[in-house]
Structure 1
Amino acid sequence: MPEYTVLTVIGVVAVVLLELLWARTGIFRTARYWIAMAIVLSFQIPVDGWLTKLSNPVVLYNPRDFSGVRFPWDIPVEDFGFGFAMVTLTLMLWRRAEIRQADHDHR
């Protein structure tokens, strides 16, 4: 299986499990999180589309390293999983730090 595909799947699964089993911030149940992800996506699609367009790519992918599925505008689908994992992990850790600080302040 292609390396980028495997690492993306591992990243997505790891972040989701980290949230559900350790951090437990509840971000997946908040509108704020999903609105933030929609904002990220609204920027990711045009920028990533421009960077990866097959007609004149800025970023080249080795065909052996990813699934070859591109949607929309020639964007490798793995880029969306990678972005999800990266942004979700960041927001989850920030939220966990906020919760810990609030618990500490109330002691």
Structure 2
Amino acid sequence: MIPEYTVMTALGMIVVVGLELLVFRSGIFRRAKYWAALAICLGFQCLVDGWLTKLSDPIVIYNPDMFLGIRFPFDIPIEDFGFGFAMITAVLMLWQWNLNRIPEEAE
């Protein structure tokens, strides 16, 4: 059986990518600014999440039955990166989609 957190993370990623490619079509995946923003956010996620989940003195404790148990780097469960990707992408996708809807005269 696949762990719940792993399944939910994978589904979140698939749904967000599917929404971007099939529904919203904001074009963020073609923009260097998106990839730069994603790298910056995930970089800070490493620092914060690494501190919160470090095995030597964890603040957040995961049920070992709910995730794969693979931790990289700094003891971060790999599912956290998928969740972060989905969350950041969803926000930026909706933001860009909304900006794309504004007529150029109104800008």
Same fold (TM over 0.5): yes
- Percent identity among equivalent residues? 61
SS at match of 2:51: helix
Superposition RMSD in Å: 1.5
> Which amino acid is 2:47 matched to?
P
Following superposition, which runs of at least 4 residues in structure 1 exceed 2 angstroms of deviation?
A: 102-105
Structure 1: where are the runs of 5+ without partners? Answer: none
Partner of 2:53: 52
Partner of 1:21: 22
Structure 2: where are the runs of 5+ without partners? Answer: none
Partner of 1:30: 31
**Normalising by the residue count of structure 1, what TM-score does the alignment of the two structures yield?**
0.94
Task: Describe how 1:1-107 pairs up with structure 2 within 5 A.
Answer: 1-102=2-103, 105=106
SS at match of 1:41: helix
The size of the alignment, in residue pairs, is: 106
The structure with more helix, counted as a fraction of residues: 1
